[in-house]
Amino acid sequence: MTMTIMFAVLFYFAAGLFAVGLIYRIATYARTPAPLKIPTTPAPRTRFGVVMLMAREVFFFESLFKATIWTWIFSAMFHAGLALVLLRHLRYFIDPVWSWVSFIQPFGLYAGFMMVAGLMGLWARRFFVDRVRYISTPSDHLMLALLITIGISGLVMKFITHTDVVAIKDFFMGLMSFSINTLPSDWMIYLHLSLIALLMIIFPFSKLLHAPGVFFSPTRNQVENSRDKRHLSAWASKLDSGK
Amino acid sequence: MATEIKAPPYRVFNIAPAVVPGAMADVKTFVASDKIQENLGFPVFETPDWHDKAIGKMGELLGKYRSLKVYMDACVHCGACSDKCHYFIGTGDPKNMPVARQDLMRSVYRRYFTLPGKLFPWLVGARDLTREVLDEWYNYYHQCSECRRCSVFCPYGIDTAEITMAAREILDSAGYGQKYSNEIIGKVHAIGNNLGLPKPALIDTLEGLEEDTKEDTGFDIRFPLDVKGAEVLLITPSADFFAEPHIDSLIGYAKVFHAAGISWTLSSMSSEAGNFGMFIGNYEQMRKIALRIRQAALELGVKRIVVGECGHAWRVAYSFWNTLIGVGDGGKDPYAIELQKQLDHRYKQPMHICELTWDLAEKKIITFDKEANDKHIITFHDSCNVARGSGMGDTFGGQFEIPRNIVKAVANHFHEMPEGTTHEQTFCCGGGGGLLTDDLLDLRVKGSLPRMEALQHVVDAHGVNFMACICAICKAQFTKVLPYYGFDRRLIGGVHQLVSNAIKLGDK
Ligand code: HEM
Ligand code: HEM
């Protein structure tokens, strides 16, 4: 029961920090003006074109594809795997489970392996490519270690130790309606959950901000129409007078 | 640094070099004197409170530029950019990898502006802004030509140029300015152009040009200066007035105007297209320099503003003039409104000289004798600021097609350099962004390596003997560095130099 309470508190704290931190960050990005037109050209000349470009960046990592194929492969494995795993995890938080979430369950299984393999590949680059080794900080390594441990602990529960997923679902459904149901006492789930809480806590303070950041990057989200439409930010417009 | 400057050997395979830490650590461009700094209203070095000023400026810029704010946070150190910079390829210095160059600032950002950096600096690679760090900034932020090649490959579009500009702005606010750029900006404010050519010298040069072209062609081709009521105001880099091969393109523009019967003029007050305010990341300076052009346009009563062959000038004109001075869609202050009424909006404002020439060629208003260029086997170097910072025409990628169309219309032999070195992936000449100074010659020679490799490829494969471009900095840089790689310096020239050779003047 102590463990249950501790995890309940931890998850309220982590979720709160995650939400507030992320909203604050996004609000800062949105509020900070972009005074000049700086799309990396040639860029789309319409809003719709920009939306398409952004979709290609977010779903296919188009620029990364042009840059280095190996990083792209590992990165795609990791992110696609992560996305599937997270969607699959929705079943712990909704009841009754939506039909499409049930539908993807079998795919999600392999996605866990794909995600971990991708992460390992990305990590290998940090050791074997001298340029990437040079730029890696301890936090870069730890971030990968963290995600790999989350992934492996999940896979271990799934395939080796097994855990009481129904009780876990009860626990999280309970948290969402502010009541506390007992969490199964199982060290693997303790590990999985503590690290997930840690991930949520560091999210708004770390490079994981690349996920919201990409949408606010002026070189990617601006329309190339500088001659046809005047672009002016608030602080720049104050200078806008005189001969 | 008495060692002789040598070109690095070509790479056997087109892959990134092994890192050589510290290879370029001592390369330091000359620092601006107190006089140069004061001239621009910047503090001088070493101001006792440089540290607080720098951090204060950084905070200010983080609030003013979304690019800087997002780019400081978003990088995941994935390494996509790490082998994309020509200075890294040429020098092997890992701090010339775009990500590492950004990290010089990101480390300080983390220390002063983020929680993890304040609590656990060692964990996230955060560090205090010390004198050593400031020196490192100075050296390496003046080894970036702001060419934006890295931003093409970054999955978040992080543009190192934005960070270099911010860094230079911060350095200036701490009094640590670069001699080359800041001296030039002073000259523009005082005289009207980067070279400091006063009006009498301009008149002299232009009259000489009229005589020479008369001798060459037999036609009275005019090079008008300060002519009120002309149709077109031509804003061109001042190097076009006297440097080789730039001047040949100036002759080309004059012939185009002559053949098309368009009245035009240069302005002695505003005789510079270049805008080094962009290089130092200073909005006010950039705006002040651009305002001279608006003033000239108003005083001369022109209907159109056309920009000559200059890369970063075209970026400023195409992407920023509308914002800075209301040339384009028009501004709201009285002068912008007046200018907006004066300009002829059947034409793009501003217009690139290549847009003008190609439009005339398409309409057959000007015609060419292609054989006149038969001695030239031509390739085209996309200048970085045109390729990745601007556009031309109304179509996606017009900045690539229009100059190539002109080259193909005026000459018979044209060959592209290898894929991955042209269009939006073009390599900078190695001298852009305020680095075109002799105290950085070593860097410039090394930085041109990838372009020279690509050029060598078409020289070997097709016997190319002319590399056309549309940038004054590219022209000056290549003229200087080509011999280091065993090429003739006259291999570089302007697109309008080729136009000049082929355009038919009389029988039209
Ligand atoms: C809009 C959503 C997202 C996009 C477009 C995106 C895109 C990218 C790209 C292009 C990279 C660089 C390539 C690489 O190193 O893998 C990357 C790296 C990374 N992403 Fe994401 N990402 C997103 C969401 C997330 C989320 C939600 C997480 C974490 C839970 C995450 C974790 C990471 C990590 C840890 C790296 C660095 C990998 C390394 O160390 O090499 N990403 N992301
Ligand atoms: C509060 C949120 C989470 C809860 C309650 C949770 C719970 C679980 C449970 C109970 C399993 C075992 C599944 C089974 O035995 O059938 C599991 C597996 C797994 N978890 Fe999580 N997890 C959470 C978040 C995450 C996150 C954020 C990641 C990734 C970064 C992740 C990655 C995995 C992986 C890869 C597996 C194994 C494959 C699979 O079953 O999909 N989990 N998780």
3-class secondary-structure state, position B74: helix
Distance in Å from the first CA to the final CA of chain B: 58
Q: Which residues contact B462 (CB under 8 A, 6 or more apart)?
A: B377, B379, B413, B415
Q: Residue B255: count other Cβ atoms within 10 Å of its Cβ.
A: 24
Between residues 71 and 110 of chain B, which touch chain A (CB distance below 8 Å)? 71, 73-84, 94, 97, 99-100, 103
> Is residue A17 very low, low, confident or very high in pLDDT (cuts 50, 70, 90)?
very high
Q: Which residues contact B25 (CB under 8 A, 6 or more apart)?
A: B93, B95, B136, B139
B400-433 burial by CB neighbour count: b if 16+ within 10 A, else e?
bebbbbbbebbbebbeebeeebbbbbbbbbbbbb
Residue A243 has pLDDT above 60, yes or no: no
Q: Kindly write down the DSSP assignment for every residue of B144-168, as one continuous string.
A: -----HHHHH-TT---HHHHHHHHH
pLDDT, average across residues A52-76: 97
Atom 31 in ligand 1: which residue has the minimum CA distance? A208
Q: What was the pLDDT predicted at B507?
A: 53
Helix (H) or strand (E) holding B173, with range, is helix B160-173
What is the CA(A89)–ligand 2 centre distance, in A? 6
Tell me how far apart the alpha carbons of residues B271 and B138 are, in angstroms, rounded to a whole number: 30
Taken in order B371, B376, B377, B382, the sign of the CA dihedral is: negative
- Considering only CB atoms, B99 lies closest to which of A41, A135, A226, namely A135
Residue A1 contacts B, CB cutoff 8 Å: no
Residue A225 contacts B, CB cutoff 8 Å: no
Tell how far CA B230 is from the center of its chain.
Answer: 28
3-class secondary-structure state, position A222: coil
pTM for this entry? 0.94
3-class secondary-structure state, position B78: coil
Q: What was the pLDDT predicted at B508?
A: 45
What is the CA(B77)–ligand 2 centre distance, in A? 26
Kindly determine whether residue A207 and residue B74, on different chains, have CB atoms separated by under 8 Å: yes
Q: Residue A19: count other Cβ atoms within 10 Å of its Cβ.
A: 12
Q: What was the pLDDT predicted at A241?
A: 63
Domain spans in chain A, listed from the N-terminal domain onward: 2-241
Question: Which amino acid belongs to residue B476?
Answer: A
Q: What was the pLDDT predicted at B179?
A: 97
> What would the pLDDT profile of B389-421 be if each residue is shown by its tens digit?
999 999 999 999 999 999 999 999 999 999 999
Residues of chain B below pLDDT 50: 1-2, 508
Q: Which residues does chain B have within 8 Å of residue A135's beta carbon, measured at their own beta carbons? A: 77, 79, 82, 94, 97, 99-100, 103
Q: Which ligand is nearest to the CA of A54?
A: 1
B368 strand-pairing partners: B503
Give the mean pLDDT of chain A: 94
Distance in Å from the first CA to the final CA of chain A: 74
Long-range contacts of A237-241 (CB under 8 A, 24+ apart): A237/B332, A239/B283, A239/B284, A239/B287, A240/B326, A240/B331, A240/B332, A240/B333, A240/B336, A241/B333, A241/B334
Q: Which CATH number fits domain A2-241: 1.20.950.20, 3.90.400.10, 3.40.50.2300, 1.10.3190.10?
A: 1.20.950.20
Atom 3 in ligand 2: which residue has the minimum CA distance? A193
> Which of B85, B95, B116 is closest to B22 using CA atoms?
B95
> Which of B486, B487, B308 is closest to B386 using CA atoms?
B308
Q: Which residues does chain B have within 8 Å of residue A241's beta carbon, measured at their own beta carbons? A: 333-334
